[in-house]
Structure 1
Amino acid sequence: MTKERYHHGDLRGALLDAAETLVRERGADGWSLREASARVGVSPSAAYHHFGSRDALVSALSEIVLARLGHRLRDAVEAAQEQGPERLAACGRAYVTWAVEDPAVARLVFRGGATTAQSAISPHPHDVLTRELDRLTESGHLPPGARPGAEFVVWAAIHGLAVLLIDGLVHIDDRAGVEGQTDRLVFATFHGLARETAPEPDRPTPTTTHTRRLTQSTA
């Protein structure tokens, strides 16, 4: 696939394909830009025309992976049969099963610094989750007082389960079990949030590279 893309003039895409394959084979750090170039059949100098460093290649791949995950989460939410918190559970299931199915690539984007403030990712997984929580607030399922920062609470829950599973600290035998555990976690988290009828005055305001980028672009 990578050499086909290169022969069709898409060297940048071919290098990204090669990098993703190397991540699955060796992990996030077990390969070089030179090796990615060799997989495609070009010299490192040719690769430098598209990526000035290995970090630049990793960042570009991370952006693609996160957009792919964003599409997966959005599709899962839109396919949900119910319009209440079940849609949120569908989002959680899509996130956790994605990580379990592709752990090496998941680890690549789970690390801090995987993307930068200049990374434009659409749809961003964070935005999919944010829109769903906004919808739950507008429909009356989530009190307005619980809404500020709720995406970080839900994300912490599902991300924590995903990491525990791919790091082997928690074992669940099959996908149905993973989805069932995710449902339990999401509903428990959501019901806890739903009890917050008024915002706490000292509640922290978490941020990410993506949310800071959104704030800067709005300003």
Structure 2
Amino acid sequence: MEDQQITMPRIGDPAPDFEAMTTTGKMKFSEYIKGSWTILFSHPADFTPVCTTEMTGFALDQDFFDEHQTKLVGLSIDSIHAHIAWVNNVKKNTGVLFEFPIIADIDMSVSKLYGMLQPGESETAAVRAVFFIDPAGKIRLIMYYPLNVGRNMEEIKRALIALQTADKHKVSLPLNWVPGEKAIVSPPKTVAEMIEREASDYEMVDFYLAKRELPKD
């Protein structure tokens, strides 16, 4: 059926714009994220155990995201009243405050816009989606998790640093890369570049696979 079709934004697409009410007030998404890295993430429902651990994880790492000039925006298909009650409940029980905005997507419009509502998993709850959006408003990385598996916060942080590092130094990054490790240099496109590379101080696995140290920030 046509109403079951899912809009799936892709890597490289502009982040779809929308207006919504959040726990920090009304938001026009394109204006809120302008000029900043942003992580938009959805959870299935307020007052649920896995979601509580995840949202708490984002809140506990708020300083990390601030240090990396990255805004956090949460979302679920719940009312603003449910969101506020949940924020208050978690704060009372754990002392952790969700300071980032949480979108009240009661009409499912944003969830559908971002492909977060997937009928094969649930028709009424958003899956655990994570969208990494760069300062130009472009989607750079997407993660989808099912309802019953929580996200890995260390991988979310690693992926953010990797994206920012690759942009800053114009390099690619290998399997399991973490800060402090070497980056991959683009393969040579001419014979002259190949010869120049062989005389460089790069770590040469082969002429097409070379690694180099990154400057210390």
TM-score (ref. length: structure 2): 0.27
Q: Higher helix proportion, which one?
A: 1
Q: Higher strand proportion, which one?
A: 2
TM-score (ref. length: structure 1): 0.26
